Amino acid sequence: MSTLRPVFHPTHPHVAALERLGDEIAELSARLDAATAHLLTLIREFDERRGWNTGFRSCAEWLSWRIGLESGAARERVRVAHALGKLPLLSGALTRGELSYSKVRALTRIATPETESRLLTVGRAGTVAHVERIVRGWRRVDRLAEAREAGMQHRNRAFHTHYDDDGMLVIHGRLAPEVGALLRQALHAAWDTLFREKAGNTFESDAQHRADALALMVETALHHGMEARSSGEGYQVVIHVDGGQTVLDDGPRVSAETSERLTCDATRTWMRHDKAGTPVEVGRRTRVIPSSLRRALEHRDHGCRFPGCGVRHGQGHHIRHWARGGPTTLPNLVTLCRRHHRAVHEEGYQVTREADETLRFYEPDGTPLLEVPPLALLDSNPVDAIRIVNDQEGVRIGPKTGLSEWRGERFDTGWAIDVLHPRANPAC
């Protein structure tokens, strides 16, 4: 026995109510996209002014901590924010609610000031699925064009190092694309997975962040060994302390704070020298943090405890350094990633453990760093607030503002790429 379904005339109150509900959804979505454009502008300015430099490595890390964004989504917000700063047409379309954030996010992966007007047409005419297909096809054309240059790139590969007059190692090179890709992935992994930085110094640049990532890569390689080596014990950085001076073996003097960081979780060997500097007595090598205690520390902390970090790999830090009488016990230890270990030792950040075992972190000026900051409280209806902002900026948004122009016709990705991409048909 078949079930009869009611059929409503388009003028029926039930249909009209659903249409009004659909229009409200479409209009509010467009308003949210317009508000997102304003949010991205604020993120771009915040990042350019390095407002996140209060214990965090990047703007994305700060966003993840401050407003609870997933780390990948936070990085994507920052990327799109900076891309839109150079793409006024796409930025304007998002501001007016004409393009969704999803479309703009995809288009900014390939758009340039020279091509954004063509891609804006794609965004308005197609769905998100169409836009994603165009982006994938666009990238394929780019790869074919790049392949023609691969032979020359391979022949021009080189890598050079030399010490500058100030003792800094200068690196210069040109790597084959696949090697460069490996290097970039390794730097990305060191930057985003093994440690999260950068804090303290408002003058630090992205280049300095990458230098720290490279340093971590080197340390990791030596620690885990390469090829047939089972460990990095054959490679050591030796610190000599003599008469209050701390120097690296065959290297320059380092600060007391740096030496404390390097010896916070290290192998320690005491040596006695004669007047000529020749070792005459060498003590037994010992670990400052023994293996059993390290396992307990890793089990308790599960990675870096600096607020907003959470990197799984870290170093044991003595809250009160052992050289100043601090015991090597679990209550006096905390796990910090490489970057935040440096922040605590050399950049003025502080960590204490209260009587109730709670960790407290502080900025150099004594301002507490909360583990989870409070979210902003809204004192009005957020929908009304968005409408007010749109009206003040002269943005007129309705139910059909973000409606795609596509009406169901067949979408030919290959033809679209041939028409749109400036390098798709070199013979023309």
Q: Per-residue confidence of the chain (428 residues) as pLDDT tens digits?
A: 556 566 555 666 676 788 888 888 888 888 889 889 999 999 999 999 998 887 788 899 899 888 888 888 999 999 999 999 999 999 999 998 889 999 999 999 999 999 999 899 888 888 888 899 888 888 888 776 666 665 566 677 888 888 887 778 888 888 776 677 778 878 877 776 544 544 444 456 677 777 888 887 887 777 665 554 433 344 455 666 665 555 555 555 556 667 677 777 777 666 666 666 666 555 556 667 888 888 899 899 888 999 888 788 788 999 998 878 888 889 999 999 888 888 888 888 999 998 888 899 998 888 888 887 777 666 666 667 777 777 777 777 777 777 676 766 777 777 778 777 877 665 54
Res 94: pLDDT: 93
Q: Does 375 map to a domain?
A: no
Domain boundary among 164, 194, 224: 224
Q: Does 331 map to a domain?
A: yes
* One domain, residues 132 and 164: no
* One domain, residues 107 and 21: yes
* One domain, residues 40 and 141: yes
Q: Does 281 map to a domain?
A: yes
* One domain, residues 165 and 288: no
Q: Does 34 map to a domain?
A: yes
* One domain, residues 137 and 176: no
Q: Does 173 map to a domain?
A: yes
CA distances from 93 to 97, 124, 136 (A): 6, 9, 22
Domain boundary among 177, 199, 224: 224
* One domain, residues 139 and 199: no
Q: Does 372 map to a domain?
A: no
Q: Does 377 map to a domain?
A: no
* One domain, residues 38 and 99: yes
Domain of 202 in residue numbering reads as 153-224
Domain boundary among 183, 201, 224: 224
Model-level pTM? 0.62
Q: Does 409 map to a domain?
A: yes
How many domains does one find in the chain? 3
List Cβ neighbours of 66 (8 Å cut-off, separation of 6 or more): 308, 373
User: According to the 3-state scheme, what is the secondary structure of the chain?
Assistant: CCCCCCCCCCCCHHHHHHHHHHHHHHHHHHHHHHHHHHHHHHHHHHHHCCCCCCCCCCHHHHHHHHHCCCHHHHHHHHHHHHHHCCCHHHHHHHHCCCCCHHHHHHHCCCCCCCCHHHHHHHHHHCCHHHHHHHHHHHHHHHHHHHHCCHHHHHHCCEEEEEECCCCCEEEEEECCHHHHHHHHHHHHHHHHHHCCCCCCCCCCCHHHHHHHHHHHHHHHHHHHCCCCCCCCCCCCCCEEEECCEEEECCCCECCHHHHHHHCCCCEECCEEECCCCCEEEECCCEECCCHHHHHHHHHHHCCCCCCCCCCCCCEEEECCCHHHCCCCCHHHEEEECHHHHHHHHHCCCEEEECCCCCEEEECCCCCEECCCCCCCCCCCCHHHHHHHHHHHCCCCCCCCCCCCCCCCCCCCHHHHHHHHCCCCCCCC
* One domain, residues 321 and 287: yes
